[in-house]
Structure 1
Amino acid sequence: MSRAFAIFLLTLLALTARAEQPAMVESSFWQSEVKNGILPPVTQRMPTEPLVVDLEAKGRSFGEHGGTLRTLVSRSKDVRQMVVYGYARLMGYDQNYELYPDILRDIEVEEGRKFTLHLRKGHRWSDGHPFTSADFEYYWKHVALNEELSPAGPPQNLIVDGVLAEMSFPDAHTVVIEWPTPNPQFLQLLAQASPFFIYRPAHYLKQFHAEFTDAKTLRRKIKKARVRAWAPLHNDRDNMFKFDNPDLPTLQPWMNASGTKSSRHVFVRNPYYHRVDARGLQLPYIDVVEMTIVGGGLIAAKANAGEVDLQARGLDFPDISILKKGETDGAGYRTLLWANGAANQIAIYPNLNFADPVWREVIRDVRFRRALSMGIDRRMINRALYFGLAKEGGMTALAKSPFFDPANLFKWSIYYPAKSNALLDEMGLTERTPDGIRKLPDGRPMEFVIETAGERQEVENALAIVTDTWREIGIKLVMRPLDRDILRNRVYSGLSMSAVWFGWDNGLPQTYTPPEYLAPTHQEFFAWPKWGQYYQTGGEVGEAPDMPAAKRLMQLSWEWDHTEDTDARARIWREMLAIHAENQFGIGILAEAPQPIVVSNRLRNVPEQAKWAWDPGAHFGIHRVDEFYYDEPFQQLTQ
């Protein structure tokens, strides 16, 4: 065993050291159900070895049960944020971004390739059914390996160096997953904001599976659901992350209690949740989460009016002034400013896989992307939108990462229109229209279309400034706001010339952070959606990377996966970041603008200073919303 893995295992053992199990305390929320025999008492609902949380050791205070937490989202599909915020994972990150077993009781890692997962005896799904290795076996044999449910084959996450994992189930509380070679990304996949679910509630989903339900019964279910076959029926009910099926049992701290589609969704405490505080109170402290769907433009106004208890999604830096005014007007909340963990607040992604062959050739010329970057007056945007508080420069690791290099931040990112014009002239793009717009090789004017999700006003404001400075270099920016889902689909299909989005989710990589998101392994990186599809589907769809820099990134990502040497991994990270800075695959504009967080004055255990990051971090999830509580909690929902 290598020294790195020995340290890793010792860390896990330290993190999973059992606190003395306290006497359990029943929550008032479920007292009537327990009294009437609908639910067993809490002592029978908890695992025999629950995850005991010593809040005082974490610098937090113990709370009381009760209360309703109000929050807002802008789309009905955002009910999945409850899985993000709840952050119950097989493995999770703590506030120091160190991994620890959460749903799992323990885990053993051998040679980085064999993972033995130990479940908690007595752990149950939210409907009271035992959570055992049978739920992993169902996923493995009847979902991942089922050709009708997984027509593209098993997930790429289960394939290492072209070899599919082997999964075995020695007993009801043990699962073994192994590969011939190390899989250093496996535990991180389990801890993601959108986690890799390698288990399913088998007892529930079997009723929709052709191998477990008779054909006649299944036909009735298919007809009632108005689908064509059993596979789409199963997939519709199997929404572990979407969280939109109230009947699907869960392991999250709150379960979906909304039976019909509406603008108001209610989530109630999971009576079988596996975490308990050191005094014996089962978590979560808060009984109910009320999630209301409103127009994205209304979130700041409703927060200002005191209509939320915890809110960050839908709020941006420009909203701080109105939020601060609400504080002084007595709306009953405070506005925290958390550090933003994304590599960039606003980044432009020219699509290297754009369907138009003329534009594609232009976009793939690195001189063009460098010219675009140097044609942006980042200082003007920073002063106009962020009062100069953001950090100007390209997309790279943030200053608190060990891989931060100022040379990468400023490479091709200083406003220099004369140099931009020289690069475009060097490309041969010298012909112009009468109003000064350059022409493409086929004579069309260079109208560079940037598609946006239309959700963040500062994005549109920033692009308005870019429009003016790009005209100086002979390029007309055309901004096209779209629905978020339409935008993604257009990018993925190669129909989008370019898009604007956040930078990398993780702007604070460490030596142990897999760098695959810097390589063309995901379609979600808008600069190379087709390359990402090719990797994610094992070559079934998409296009193979055909640019030298992209191939080098793939090679470096592979090398990182196949070494445990810390110095080698650091070298790989630095080379990959340098390649991105040179090639401007994603043209970053500004980073590290604070994220406003609205918190009710009655809500406790919310950190005053923290990081707002999607992955790793799951936004609020890493800060454990199940440990938040109210002063003088009250129950606003009649059971």
Structure 2
Amino acid sequence: MRTAPHRQSAPVWATGVILAVVLLALGLVGGLTAARAAPVEPPILADAVAAGALPPMAQRLPDTPRVINLASQGKTVGRPGGSIATLMARDKDIRLMTVYGYSRLVCYTPDLELVPDILRDVTVEEGRIFTLYLRPGHRWSDGHPFTTEDFRYWWEDMALNPVLSPGGPPPEMVPHGAPPTVEVLGPRSIRYTWVEPNPLFLPALAGARPLEIFRPAHYLRQFHADYADPEALAKRIKDEDARDWRALHFTKDRWYRNTNPDLPTLDPWRITTEPPAQRYVFQRNPYFHRVDTSGQQLPYLDRVVLDITDAKLVPAKTAAGETDLQSRYLGFDNYTVLKAAQQRGGPVVSLWREGQGSSVALYPNLTTNDPVWRAVLRQADVRRALSLAIDRHEVNQVVFFGLGLEANNTLLPESPLYVPDISRRYTDYDPARANALLDSVGLDTRDSRGTRLLPDGRPMELIVEEDGEDRARLDALRLIQDHWAALGIRMYIRTFSREVLKRRVYAGSSVMVAAYGLNNGLATPEMPPSELVPVAQDMWQWSQWGQYHETRGEAGEAVDMPAGERLMELYDAWMLSTSRAEQVAIWKEILALHAENQFSIGVVSGGNQPVVHARALRNLPAEALYTWEPGAHFGIYGMDTLFLAPPESAAATNTASDEPG
């Protein structure tokens, strides 16, 4: 690895990244030779290559493509060609192709190691100096060179442009309030230097919805006032019926949403359908930067088709074989029907374990507008009592068929930060202790029906709000209603759409919310603990605190509880950390504070997500963890490596894939 003279070597937390880079570089030598010695064109591109409309594969690939070692992942070398379909319910779901394709500057492996992907290499010094090295010869999907000019354009002409980014650069680029110094070292190397460490940077680049610090400058300049001819730009604005050049640039650059077929991409597939539509077609990117060890360019599949249908029809259509790869809009309650369809010769059904901190969690709103409920819920013993009164074993058996983990909303056993005691604290069913705790804090007065009374004399009628998107959660809440009724608390369930629910929480109207738990139940020390700290308003238990942090005090409320203040101190310490040991210690104290204070009340984790695929589809794991962060659902398992078996062997589905996992 290269290190600049007179600079310290990379901090301990970055060593894993650098080691992975070195190993990858060593693996590239043999892979590159194979790719150049015997290039195998995807058949669908052969005619275009023969006609001179497309360069041959050896010229389309980067000089050092990323070589995917399929054998090390338990996969087989596939064959190019074919198309698969999946079902979605809304036009905006096409954004999931950006997620599933999981082409990132750096990305997570299934073992949660960060490795270069689009980048050839990356070095980290002192936790604050990041030098990124691009792959020579890498090109956008339209064949234009991908260079550091694309990074410079995003930084100088977008992130720092007051018209396009009136709020300034994204938070990950100004972690301590100051932006980095950005140095373009050449067409294939660029350096970002912060005054203080920025541990947010690499994890953000690898996210399911990543921090994307580059844009296709050659395409977007025509919509930018600093570059475009004024008359031509004015005509484009008029033709597109845009409000101004900012709106036009924004519309043309919706990379995550996949709404512009003309926008060049580095993803495995590129959209070819103009929204709105009932069917969206994504075609292979002929310049994609990955190959297998035999020299074949990825992705194997030529096309991925997204068909739009009613969400309620997805389970039935999946059972009928109208999709080749499906997890979206399927729930565990569909498993029995799907498995029966498989036994009749239908698609293969697997169960992937959910990677969330909890499949069902309750969030007492510590910043609710109701002053009486606010004061009650801010008492840790009240939250502990609510947790102790839940019969998690009953919920697990009735709703999750005994397959879940009865635990707090915390990290899963697969995380290197998992602590059994933290997972189990205040989770044993103990109604006697729960009643005693409530009595001890002065909530010992009851009405004629046995309902406890709040300090202002109102009955303890607790409204729990949820979004109605998960039937298992609703079933669990109905059981918890009975558990809390025995405690003298009447719980009522109200369902709102996700958008309305968010608005209610942001406004402080909600008293308690039921939702899934931590998005990332698999965290490693290098990942930010931001889901456990009041730093964003979209946190059900302390939205006003999060809003205060996000707006730097212009809105919301400052944290005013000792435990919350300690969480912020720990988060600030993590943001300045430069060693893995520091990060481990900080993470564990944060997790312990959460378990002791029951800021969120987890019920059952490790639920199961049905994943259904056509019998001919290969290289999809039979068992895996289904997560948004850090997994990008199918992303870290390499959707670009999926392929269709030849017709003669399609019926002979791999035995392991036939089992639910």
TM-score (ref. length: structure 1): 0.93
Are 2:537 and 2:543, in contact at CA under 8 Å, matched by a contact in 1?
yes
Q: Answer with 555-564 or 223-232: which moved more.
A: 223-232
What amino acid sits opposite 1:630 in the alignment? L
Question: Aligned partners of 1:189 and 1:632: how far apart in 2?
Answer: 39
What amino acid sits opposite 1:16 in the alignment? A
In the TM superposition, residue 80 of structure 1 has moved relative to its aligned partner by 1.1
Q: What secondary structure sits across from 1:407 in the alignment?
A: helix
Aligned partner (choices 236, 244, 254) of residue 221 of structure 1:
236
In the TM superposition, residue 578 of structure 1 has moved relative to its aligned partner by 0.9
List aligned pairs for 1:87-126, cutoff 5 A: 87-126=102-141
What amino acid sits opposite 1:260 in the alignment? P
Q: What secondary structure sits across from 2:423 in the alignment?
A: helix
In the TM superposition, residue 194 of structure 1 has moved relative to its aligned partner by 1.0
Are 1:152 and 1:537, in contact at CA under 8 Å, matched by a contact in 2?
no
Question: Aligned partners of 1:235 and 1:67: how far apart in 2?
Answer: 34
Partner of 1:458: 472
Are 2:91 and 2:308, in contact at CA under 8 Å, matched by a contact in 1?
yes
What amino acid sits opposite 1:595 in the alignment? Q
Q: Does 1:384 align with 2:398?
A: yes
1:319-363 deviations in Å (ceiling 9; x for gaps): 2211210111111x2222223221111111122232333333333
For the aligned residue pairs, the C-alpha RMSD in angstroms reads 2.3
Q: Percent identity?
A: 44
Partner of 2:414: 400
Change (3 A) 1:57 1:473: closer
Question: Aligned partners of 1:111 and 1:63: how far apart in 2?
Answer: 42
Q: Does 1:15 align with 2:30?
A: no
1:462-499 deviations in Å (ceiling 9; x for gaps): 11111222222232222222222332333334333322
Q: Does 1:25 align with 2:35?
A: no
Change (3 A) 1:371 1:225: farther
Q: What secondary structure sits across from 1:19 in the alignment?
A: helix
What amino acid sits opposite 2:138 in the alignment? H
Q: Structure 1 unaligned segments of length 5 or more: list them.
A: 635-639
Q: Answer with 426-435 or 18-27: which moved more.
A: 426-435
Partner of 2:200: 185
Question: Aligned partners of 2:157 and 2:418: how far apart in 1?
Answer: 45
Q: Answer with 227-236 or 133-142: which moved more.
A: 227-236
Q: Does 1:485 align with 2:494?
A: no
Q: Does 1:500 align with 2:514?
A: yes
In the TM superposition, residue 228 of structure 1 has moved relative to its aligned partner by 3.0
Question: Aligned partners of 2:126 and 2:445: how far apart in 1?
Answer: 60
Are 1:451 and 1:479, in contact at CA under 8 Å, matched by a contact in 2?
yes
Are 2:300 and 2:640, in contact at CA under 8 Å, matched by a contact in 1?
yes
Partner of 2:325: 310
Aligned partner (choices 542, 545, 570) of residue 528 of structure 1:
542
Partner of 1:637: none
Change (3 A) 1:135 1:579: same
Question: Aligned partners of 1:292 and 1:450: how far apart in 2?
Answer: 35
Q: What secondary structure sits across from 1:71 in the alignment?
A: strand
Change (3 A) 1:281 1:631: same
Question: Aligned partners of 2:208 and 2:120: how far apart in 1?
Answer: 20
Question: Aligned partners of 1:449 and 1:224: how far apart in 2?
Answer: 50
Q: Does 1:344 align with 2:358?
A: yes
Question: Aligned partners of 1:603 and 1:111: how far apart in 2?
Answer: 45
Question: Aligned partners of 1:2 and 1:289: how far apart in 2?
Answer: 41
Partner of 2:220: 205
Q: What secondary structure sits across from 2:589 in the alignment?
A: helix
Are 2:11 and 2:127, in contact at CA under 8 Å, matched by a contact in 1?
no
In the TM superposition, residue 182 of structure 1 has moved relative to its aligned partner by 1.9
Are 2:91 and 2:275, in contact at CA under 8 Å, matched by a contact in 1?
no
Question: Aligned partners of 2:25 and 2:438: how far apart in 1?
Answer: 58
Partner of 1:171: 186
Q: What secondary structure sits across from 1:479 in the alignment?
A: strand
Are 1:16 and 1:100, in contact at CA under 8 Å, matched by a contact in 2?
no
In the TM superposition, residue 526 of structure 1 has moved relative to its aligned partner by 2.0
Structure 1 stretches of at least 4 aligned residues deviating more than 6 Å after TM superposition: none
Are 1:522 and 1:533, in contact at CA under 8 Å, matched by a contact in 2?
yes
Change (3 A) 1:128 1:445: farther
In the TM superposition, residue 57 of structure 1 has moved relative to its aligned partner by 4.2
Question: Aligned partners of 2:229 and 2:552: how far apart in 1?
Answer: 34
Are 2:461 and 2:489, in contact at CA under 8 Å, matched by a contact in 1?
yes
Aligned partner (choices 312, 319, 328) of residue 297 of structure 1:
312
Aligned partner (choices 46, 49, 55) of residue 40 of structure 1:
55
Change (3 A) 1:446 1:232: farther
What amino acid sits opposite 1:569 in the alignment? Q
1:232-255 deviations in Å (ceiling 9; x for gaps): 332233222222222222111011
In the TM superposition, residue 389 of structure 1 has moved relative to its aligned partner by 1.6
Change (3 A) 1:45 1:533: farther
Q: Structure 2 unaligned segments of length 5 or more: list them.
A: 1-8, 649-661
Change (3 A) 1:112 1:440: same
In the TM superposition, residue 165 of structure 1 has moved relative to its aligned partner by 1.0
Q: Does 1:410 align with 2:424?
A: yes
Change (3 A) 1:535 1:15: farther
Q: Answer with 409-418 or 114-123: which moved more.
A: 409-418
Q: Does 1:244 align with 2:253?
A: no
In the TM superposition, residue 224 of structure 1 has moved relative to its aligned partner by 4.0
Q: Does 1:579 align with 2:588?
A: no
Aligned partner (choices 322, 328, 335) of residue 337 of structure 2:
322
Change (3 A) 1:616 1:534: same
What amino acid sits opposite 2:130 in the alignment? F
What amino acid sits opposite 2:182 in the alignment? M
What amino acid sits opposite 1:394 in the alignment? N
Q: What secondary structure sits across from 1:16 in the alignment?
A: helix
Question: Aligned partners of 1:625 and 1:474: how far apart in 2?
Answer: 50
In the TM superposition, residue 215 of structure 1 has moved relative to its aligned partner by 4.0
Question: Aligned partners of 1:465 and 1:110: how far apart in 2?
Answer: 52
Partner of 2:67: 52
Q: What secondary structure sits across from 1:69 in the alignment?
A: strand
Partner of 2:644: 630
Q: What secondary structure sits across from 2:29 in the alignment?
A: coil
Are 1:355 and 1:495, in contact at CA under 8 Å, matched by a contact in 2?
yes
